[in-house]
């Protein structure tokens, strides 16, 4: 199966995941220190997802769930500041140099990417998978680094791609590794966004929690996209950085459960522990003692 053909479905699910982001943000919940105008301006920039080149005001308004008149003022201001660029022929916007500079500065300073990339690339080539590094951004997992084996067809995703929390191996690994109270809050937000799919999502996450307790990893087998399976492992990079997750996967026909668990999982654990070792984080992690380079001993 050519996974690039799944792009439309992937983007649709990303949009559905992100649609609730403004509900999560709210208006600061009455916090007097919360600057609503700033938050809305940043939400406009966040509308430009992986694969988006240009967006019109009405498209931005729909994604931000704000009146078009408000969006018009925000895009005008962001254009004046260089965060957006308007294409005169169409009146549509694209990210400007100032916005790109912000993202580039963050990625350059994110030294965990430099440590992780060669190890991830080696794993991608060894097992023929797409291997990605991500962290949570609101109600999605945001890809910070992606590696793939060019000799096989893998998911058409790259840095900046966003995937759901509840149905992906990455999202489940993140949910399994955070404190129970924080997990319950995120699960409630997932439930409130889509009551119809909630029973299946809840069951999948609960299964992943047990898998994490047993192995330190979480999987998703045809549960996010039909024909796509993967396995993921969370880790704490330290240095004030948020919890991160590394996953490996691809077409289910290439990565059936048996292969994911027996071949890919041990190699993934080894890679993540190597990353943690090079970052100086081998030792206690979130209350869960970690094993040697080729083992993981969940608590």
Closest by CA to 132, choosing from 152, 155, 151, is 155
Strands 244-251 and 284-285: unpaired
For residue 248, the cross-strand partners are: 131, 231
- Residue 92's DSSP bridge partners are 87
Is the pLDDT score of 248 beyond 90? yes
Q: Does residue 22 have a pLDDT over 90?
A: no
10 domain-assigned? no
Residue-wise pLDDT for 138-192, tens only, equals: 889 989 899 988 766 666 678 878 899 999 999 999 999 999 999 999 999 999 8
Higher-pLDDT residue of 133 and 63 is 133
pTM summary value: 0.70
Q: Which domain holds residue 259?
A: 110-289
**142 and 284 assigned to the same domain:** yes
Q: How far apart are CA 158 and CA 148, in angstroms?
A: 10
Question: Do residues 154 and 130 make contact, with C-beta atoms less than 8 angstroms apart?
Answer: yes
Q: Which residues pair with 111 in a beta bridge?
A: none
**Which of the two residues, 92 and 6, has the higher pLDDT score?**
92
* Residue 272, pLDDT score: 96
- Rounded CA gap, 203 and 100, in Å? 39
- 284 assigned to some structural domain: yes
Provide mean pLDDT across the span 121-132: 94
Total number of domains constituting the chain = 2
Confidence class for position 260, pLDDT limits 50, 70, 90: very high
End position of a domain, from candidates 70, 103, 136: 103
Mean pLDDT check: name the lowest of 115-119, 273-277, 287-291: 287-291
pLDDT value of residue 28: 54
- Name the average pLDDT for the chain: 81
Q: What is the pLDDT of residue 37?
A: 85
pLDDT band with cut points at 50, 70 and 90 for residue 13: very low
Residue 7 falls inside a structural domain: no
| Share of residues in the chain with pLDDT > 90 (%) | 45
Could you read off the pLDDT of 102-113 as tens digits, one per residue? 665 555 555 788
What pLDDT does residue 30 have?
A: 62
d(CA 131, CA 269): 13
Domain assignment present for residue 13? The answer is no
CA atoms 189, 190, 193, 194: torsion sign: negative
Q: What is the pLDDT of residues 67-119, one digit of tens each?
A: 999 999 999 998 988 888 888 888 898 878 777 666 655 555 557 888 899 99
Per-residue pLDDT for 129 more than 70? Answer: yes
Which segment of 30-44, 188-202, 231-245 scores lowest on mean pLDDT? 30-44
Tokens of 80: 């004046």
Cα 299 to Cα 279: distance, rounded to the nearest angstrom = 22
The domain spanning residue 127 has which CATH number? 3.30.450.40
Is there a domain that residue 238 lies in? yes
**Domain membership flag for residue 12:** no
CA distance 98 to 290: 41
Which among 215, 221, 248 is positioned nearest to 232, based on CA atoms? 248
Residue 66 has pLDDT above 60, yes or no: yes
- Rounded CA-CA distance 7/50 in Å is 11
Looking at residue 48, its pLDDT comes to 79
**Please, are residues 77 and 93 in contact by the beta-carbon 8 Å criterion?**
no
Which domain-ending residue is among 103, 122, 157? Answer: 103
125 and 256, same domain (yes or no): yes
Distance from CA of residue 297 to its chain's centroid?
25
Residue 185 has a pLDDT of 94
Q: Which of 103, 125, 144 is the last residue of a domain?
A: 103
Coil, helix or strand for 4? helix
């Amino acid at each position: 199966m050519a996974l690039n053909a799944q792009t439309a479905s992937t983007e649709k699910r990303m949009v559905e995941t992100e649609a609730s982001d403004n509900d999560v943000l709210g208006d600061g919940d009455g916090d007097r220190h919360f600057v609503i105008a700033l938050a809305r301006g940043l939400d406009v920039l966040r509308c430009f997802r992986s694969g988006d080149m240009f967006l019109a005001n009405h498209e931005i308004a729909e994604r931000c769930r704000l009146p078009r008149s408000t969006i018009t003022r925000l895009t005008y201001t962001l254009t004046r500041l260089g965060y957006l660029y308007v294409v005169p022929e169409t009146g549509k916007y694209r990210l400007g140099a100032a916005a790109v500079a912000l993202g580039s500065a963050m990625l350059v300073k994110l030294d965990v990417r430099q440590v992780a990339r060669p190890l991830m690339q080696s794993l991608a080539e060894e097992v023929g998978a797409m291997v990605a590094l991500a962290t949570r951004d609101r109600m999605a997992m945001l890809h910070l680094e992606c590696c793939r084996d060019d000799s096989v067809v893998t998911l058409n995703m790259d840095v900046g791609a966003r995937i759901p929390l509840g149905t992906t191996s990455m999202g489940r690994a993140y949910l399994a590794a955070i404190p129970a109270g924080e997990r319950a809050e995120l699960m409630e937000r997932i439930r409130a966004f889509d009551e119809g799919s909630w029973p299946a999502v809840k069951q999948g996450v609960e299964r992943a929690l047990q898998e994490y307790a047993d192995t330190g990893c979480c999987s998703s087998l045809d549960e996010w996209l039909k024909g796509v399976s993967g396995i993921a492992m969370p880790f704490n990079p330290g240095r004030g950085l948020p919890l991160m997750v590394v996953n490996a996967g691809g077409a289910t026909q290439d990565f059936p459960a048996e292969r994911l668990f027996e071949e890919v999982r041990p190699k993934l654990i080894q890679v993540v522990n190597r990353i943690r070792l090079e970052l100086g984080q081998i030792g206690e992690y979130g209350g869960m003692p970690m094993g040697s380079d080729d083992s993981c001993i969940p608590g």
